[in-house]
Amino acid sequence: MSLFPMFVKLQGRRVVVVGGGVVAEQKISALLEADARLRVIAPYITQRISEWLGAGKIEWVNRAFASGDLHDAYLVVAATSTPGANAAVFAEAEDRGILCNAVDDIENCHFYYGAVVQRGDLQIAISTNGKSPALAQRIRKELEQTYTEEYAFWLECLGAARDMMRTNSTNNSGESEQSKAILHHMASQEMFERFVHQTRPEAAGHGDA
């Protein structure tokens, strides 16, 4: 079975994380970056999760998972070390039509976390359909060497240029095609290398994509 790759907007949506250990902490951190509304269900939480709670970034239900806990959830992550608990979370998610990921438990997953390279708004995700996380991690490390930190600021520049061209565009199809050609040229490897040379001359030639 082939997986369908997508990036999901979670801003303002309820995401439930079941579990309060180190693994849950890692998942919560990424979900907070996506501005999700987090509810953590666990009888204990790590110090860092406690700090997020104190800062008002998450809600905490101080007990084990129970039936009905997914009543308003958009997405759920089961990050417990107990297969039975993961299965219970997955079963309720199935009943409610909610996508569920059970960490390191492929039988109780609707989706998998990919290995991700992130440079600002640029995200590159790698998936092996759960078959080899080690390979995904190796590829991630290779891509991190190719897509350097400069890509984050360069993407901001490209986005600003695109917005400006949209503002100045007309309904003339010829001009529209011309604008597309310009934007593709701006996103080329040649233009990236010029950008790197201007911002960090010693790095020029090391950003090949």
Sequence ranges of the domains in the chain? 14-113, 150-203
Query: Residues 103-143: pLDDT tens digits?
Result: 888 889 998 887 888 888 888 888 887 788 889 899 999 99
Report the percent of the chain where pLDDT is more than 90. Answer: 51
Q: How far apart are CA 139 and CA 20, in angstroms?
A: 29
Neighbours of 26 (CB within 10 A): 14
Q: Are 39 and 28 in contact (CB under 8 A)?
A: no
Confidence of residue 175 (pLDDT cuts 50, 70, 90): low
Q: What is the mean pLDDT of residues 145-165?
A: 89
Q: How far apart are CA 38 and CA 58, in angstroms?
A: 5
Query: Residues 106-115: pLDDT tens digits?
Result: 889 998 887 8
Q: Does the pLDDT of residue 11 top 60, yes or no?
A: yes
| pTM of the predicted protein model | 0.74
pLDDT at position 207? 47
Element (H, E) at 88: helix 83-96
Q: Are 24 and 40 in contact (CB under 8 A)?
A: yes
Answer CATH for 14-113 from 3.40.50.720, 3.40.50.2300, 3.40.50.620, 3.90.1150.10: 3.40.50.720
pLDDT at position 196? 86
Neighbours of 136 (CB within 10 A): 20
Q: What is the mean pLDDT of residues 29-46?
A: 96
Residue type, 161: A
